Amino acid sequence: MTENNNVKKQNNTLKLAKMGMLVAVSIVLVYFIHFPIFPAVAFLEYDPADIPILIGTFAFGPVAGVLLTVVTSVIQGVTVSAASGVYGILMHVIATSTMVLVAGIIYKKNKTRKGAIIGLVCGVIAWIIVMIGANLVITPLFMGVPRAVVWDLMPFIAAFNGIKAGVNAIITFLLYKRISGFLHR
């Protein structure tokens, strides 16, 4: 029984170390790669930080994906993206958690290429829908602007969210199988 507990502890420690590595890669990626897509909403910047989070979600499950999201968002929000502060942390947690939960649950039930594609597509759609609502509720509070101003920018905001989530989903799909062997050792 003791040997079994030691193996479990060792496996948990290894999993935690791998998740920590994925958080670190996310932070490095956002440090080096971030840029606005639409000048009208230049405060919305594309970054690939969600790719390691999605890879971790597929490897370790949706709950681990949410944990990766929260840890990455907080570290990113107090370091490389400090200008966005609590607002940036909150919006990142909402957007990415939505995607990792949807994609992760679907992939967990169907661990095939088709399951990954369906999960990622559904995750992107969920991200866009949730972020329309989140932007209409949260953005006016943090930016001190009327909801009508945010509504006028909604085509850009929705397109931004679709592009960011879509690009990160495609890259995740292309990379996951190549990396999964390392994560599952």
Per-residue pLDDT of the chain (185 residues; tens, 9 = 90+): 577 888 888 888 999 999 999 999 999 999 999 999 999 889 899 999 999 999 999 999 999 999 999 999 999 999 988 788 899 999 999 999 999 999 999 999 999 999 999 999 999 999 999 999 999 999 999 989 999 999 999 999 999 999 999 999 999 999 999 998 888 87
Whether residue 83 lies inside any domain: the answer is yes
Whether residue 138 lies inside any domain: the answer is yes
85: left (phi over 0), alpha (psi -120 to 50) or beta: left
Q: Which CATH number goes with the domain that contains 137?
A: 1.10.1760.20
The domain total for the chain is: 1
Whether residue 100 lies inside any domain: the answer is yes
Question: Looking at the whole model, is its pTM more than 0.85?
Answer: yes
Whether residue 98 lies inside any domain: the answer is yes
Tokens (6 digits) for 150: 């945010």
